[in-house]
Amino acid sequence: MKREGFCLSWGKHALELGRKSLIMGVLNITPDSFSDGGHYFSREQAIKQALDLVADGADIIDIGGESTRPYAEKVSLQQEMERVIPVIEELSRIVNIPISIDTYKAKVAESAVKAGASIINDISALKFDPEMASVVKEAGVPVILMHMKGTPGNMQDNPVYNDLMGEIISFFNEAVDYAVKKGIRKEMIILDPGIGFGKNFNHNLMIIRDFRKLADLGLPLLLGSSRKAFIGKILDKTPEERDTGTMATVVAGILNGAHIVRVHNVRMAKETVKIVDAILAGKAIPA
């Protein structure tokens, strides 16, 4: 099944979406993220890991300084800035691929863009900080709008849906309308249904199964299923042991229309997406 194609072009960057799947490598500069918290907490460790992700084939590096796992403690603006800005400043001088800042705080996003970030990834879809939309507009960079039911502090307290995909699609229609009214160009918006954010294990599986329904929104789609708890539940594996299960979700997501996959293990994902992209095209795709 063919995916709709998109081309995002801004500043010195351009992303062609659809001909092949793009890989977003995760870099958490936090002590408490569910999968790799504390592994890359120093600037030196973070830079080394980012360069490893690039060498392994990442098309985008997504940097976050506050864990948004369920029930995670909030981080102050100053703490978050101290974690991510020096890394972005240094990394932006030595890599050519886009750097994404994973934050819902407008001041962090604004500072990150000034430091060299070129994508804003907001788990709140511009809802948590009233200044975020204007930051995105002024920056002129792509923005990832994610669906979440509730907040990281309460999102896993028995999430209930009457019509899971219908409610997610309705949420995105409203979020995109809001962004456009705030002056953000529609062609710069990417949508993420928020696997694990206000969903139970079955919800996550249903979203991946029915991912193609999101294509009707007419925007690029991102799947962030890497090492999530539902994979651990099925396989009885710790987060670090969930990469094989993650790749199964990557394949299912791409076959159902995902343009970007957000993963921890970029090397494994690179091989996985090459195969599934070749299957979609019916021929081998050049690197």
Catalytic positions, written as ranges:
228, 262
Q: How many of the other CB atoms lie within 10 Å of CB of 275?
A: 14
Quick one: 126 exposed, middle or buried, by C-beta within 10 A (0-12, 13-18, 19+)? buried
d(CA 99, CA 216): 28
Quick one: 191 exposed, middle or buried, by C-beta within 10 A (0-12, 13-18, 19+)? buried
The answer to whether the beta carbons of residues 207 and 164 sit under 8 Å apart is: yes
Q: Which two tokens stand for residue 208?
A: 């991946």
The partner residues of 119 in beta bridges, in order of sequence, read 100
SS3 73: coil
The 3-state secondary structure of 231-274, one letter per residue: HHHHHCCCHHHCHHHHHHHHHHHHHCCCCEEEECCHHHHHHHHH
